Amino acid sequence: MNIEPIYQVGKASLTPELTQGLDEALESRELIKVTVLKNCLDDPNEIARTVAERTRSEVIQVIGKKFVLYRESKTKKKIELPK
């Protein structure tokens, strides 16, 4: 499965507005990919962990300057995980 990044973290790093947008995207999509731009000086691993903590999601993968997050939707469950 190939998913495109839907958010970008820029030089302002993690703003409350970005965190809220990521939270809403996780509720509607469950699985999202985020790109950390070159002008952001923060470590992508640390950004991914911080976003996961703030949005109550799980970091699935961090590769280079991209990371993937997952959180089961409360209302629009799309992904069925194996038991």
DSSP string covering 47-65: HHHHHHHHHT-EEEEEETT
Homologous superfamily of 5-70 in CATH? Answer: YhbY-like (3.30.110.60)
Taking the domains of the chain in order of start, what are their residue ranges? 5-70
Say how far apart CA 43 and CA 16 lie, in whole Å.
18
pLDDT for the residue 80 = 67
The structure's pTM equals 0.86
Q: How confident is the model at residue 42 (pLDDT cuts 50, 70, 90)?
A: very high
User: pLDDT averaged over the chain?
Assistant: 91
Strands 5-9 and 31-36: parallel
pLDDT for the residue 77 = 72
Mean pLDDT of 41-67: 96
Does the structure show a pLDDT above 90 at 2? no
Does the structure show a pLDDT above 90 at 76? no
